Structure 1
Amino acid sequence: MTVAVEQHRPGRASRQASKIGGRIPTLDTRRLQLRAPRIYDFGAYADIFCSDRAQFMGGPFTREEAWASFTGAIALWMLHGHGLWTIDAQTTPSAGFALLGFDYADPEPELGIFLTEEAEGHGYAEEAGRAVLDHAFNALGWDTVVSYVDGSNVRVIALLTRLNATRDAAAETALGDGTQVYRHRQEA
């Protein structure tokens, strides 16, 4: 069940939101487009975060908690110049989400990729991850990005390994909560 805040409201405010969203960089890959999130993408976001798919991200969330996460990740664009993208695949709109995030307690920004169940197994996560890292290193001028991972999330660890990330023991010690930290560095 959707509530009023999740529904598109046509008019001036909606057009203004489209203009703001148009300022978020679009990243195109061979098979994907990473674009500004729109209100109708929330259904896919909630499907991910309100399910067992969110078990390694503090979930499953309530729909209201998923809304807070969704809007907070989008707000990062206004506050830090990076945030959440919707991943559109050629045959699967709203296939998932890519994030250059910065949670309140995080010591530094992180890369996160969240796919819908239907989008898994096609290599989209790696393709999106490479596009986001390229943006972080080349457009934003960053030297490094981290990914925070639960040690039992073997699928994400395999993805991060394919993205050439390596464990950062010093960052893990500084966090001190058992989270594994994988560091992405710009490749020479």
Structure 2
Amino acid sequence: MTAPCERHIPGPGARAAARLGGRLPVLDTRRLQLRGPRIYDFDAYAGILCSDRAVHMGGPATRDAAWADFTNYTACWLLHGFGLWTIDASTTPSAGFALLGFEYEDPEPEMGIFLTPEVEGQGYAFEALEAVRSHAFDVLGWDSVVSYVAPENTRCIALMTRLGARRDAVAEAELTDQTHVYRHIKEAA
């Protein structure tokens, strides 16, 4: 079921939303474009969060919980100047999502990613996170960023290792669960 809040409502509000979205940073890689989320991206977002693909992110979620998550990360742009990007692959719009964002309990911003099943295994996660990490370091001026990873999420652990991130025992000690914290450090120039 599509809730009324998920539907595009043509008119001045939609045009204002498009103008705001057009001001968000777009990250272009060799095969991907990461752009601000639009309302019609939510179906792909919910498709991920409401499925078994979200098992390592506390899911599967209900559609309304997925909406709350989507709107939280979208609102991060207005509140913090960073947030959710929709990943468009050359043949697959809304192929997944990458983020620099906060959940309410997070002690610091997180860099994360989740993809639709159709594009998994093509190196998109690595390519997108390299772009997001560069944005965090080169545009936002951060020295580090963390990724929160469930201990049983071996694919994500392998990705974090490939990206050069290292587990941060001090940050893990601040959490109340067994989540692994992978820290990405800006290399000295």
Q: TM-score range by the shorter chain?
A: over 0.9
State the secondary structure of the residue aligned to 2:174: helix
CA distance in 2, matches of 1:175, 1:6: 33
After superposition, residues 1-188 of structure 1 pair within 5 angstroms as: 1-188=1-188
Q: CA deviation at 1:187?
A: 2.1
CA distance in 2, matches of 1:92, 1:157: 25
Paired letter, 2:47:
D
Q: CA deviation at 1:141?
A: 0.1
CA distance in 2, matches of 1:75, 1:93: 21
Q: CA deviation at 1:177?
A: 1.6
CA distance in 2, matches of 1:33, 1:60: 27
Q: CA deviation at 1:128?
A: 0.2
Structure-2-length-normalised TM-score = 0.98
CA distance in 1, matches of 2:184, 2:136: 10
Paired letter, 1:82:
F
Paired letter, 1:147:
S
Aligned residue pairs, count: 188
Q: CA deviation at 1:174?
A: 1.7
Q: CA deviation at 1:4?
A: 1.4
State the secondary structure of the residue aligned to 2:20: helix
CA distance in 2, matches of 1:31, 1:150: 28
User: Runs of 4+ in structure 1 displaced over 2 angstroms?
Assistant: none
Deviation track 1:54-89 (CA, whole Å, cap 9, x = no partner) reads 111111010011001001100000000000000000
* Fraction of identical pairs, as percent: 68
Structure-1-length-normalised TM-score = 0.98
Q: CA deviation at 1:176?
A: 3.8
CA distance in 2, matches of 1:26, 1:90: 15
Paired letter, 1:159:
L
State the secondary structure of the residue aligned to 2:118: helix
Deviation track 1:22-73 (CA, whole Å, cap 9, x = no partner) reads 1110000000000010000001000000001111111101001100100110
Unaligned segments of structure 2, at least 5 residues: none
Unaligned segments of structure 1, at least 5 residues: none
